[in-house]
């Protein structure tokens, strides 16, 4: 926002930020009884993924960078699993996940590319 850093122009950063907004929007519509636990779980996990990606993008040490990217990848897997549960509980509909799908999968693929580089 205030700092004009190079990583903010990278696709991975942009996708992970879009994913944060999409998850926040989705969780606003969850039933009242799930707003405390599942909403907090999804929001905490997606923000953690985004921040771990940010931390990784400016690390010089490949070992530290990869550790942060792996953590972000696990967060993305956790989001995917949680969304699957929400679908099966019928708290959300597949159509509501389009924006998340457009960010989650490419974000995960870019993470894996960086880990292999």
Distance CA 1, CA 46 (A): 19
Convert the pLDDT of each residue in 29-62 to its tens digit. Answer: 888 877 778 899 999 999 999 999 999 988 889 9
Q: What's the fold here for domain 7-116?
A: de novo design (two linked rop proteins) (1.20.1440)
Convert the pLDDT of each residue in 10-28 to its tens digit. Answer: 889 899 999 999 999 999 9
Distance CA 97, CA 111 (A): 21
Of the candidates 28, 40, 25, the one whose C-alpha atom is nearest the C-alpha of residue 103 is 25
On the CB side of 106, CA atoms within 13 Å amount to 16
Helices and strands in the chain: count of H runs, count of E runs: 5, 0
15 and 107 Cβ atoms separated by less than 8 Å:
yes
């Amino acid at each position: 926002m205030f700092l004009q850093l190079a990583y903010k122009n990278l696709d991975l950063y942009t996708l992970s930020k879009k994913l944060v907004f999409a998850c926040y929007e989705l969780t606003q519509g969850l039933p009242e009884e799930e707003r405390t636990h599942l909403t907090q779980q999804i929001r905490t996990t997606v923000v953690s993924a985004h921040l771990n990606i940010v931390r990784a993008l400016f690390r010089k040490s490949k070992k530290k960078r990869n550790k942060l990217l792996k953590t972000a990848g696990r967060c993305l897997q956790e989001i995917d699993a949680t969304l699957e549960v929400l679908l099966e509980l019928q708290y959300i509909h597949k159509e509501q996940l389009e924006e998340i799908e457009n960010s989650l999968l490419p974000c995960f693929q870019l993470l894996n590319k960086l880990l292999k580089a």
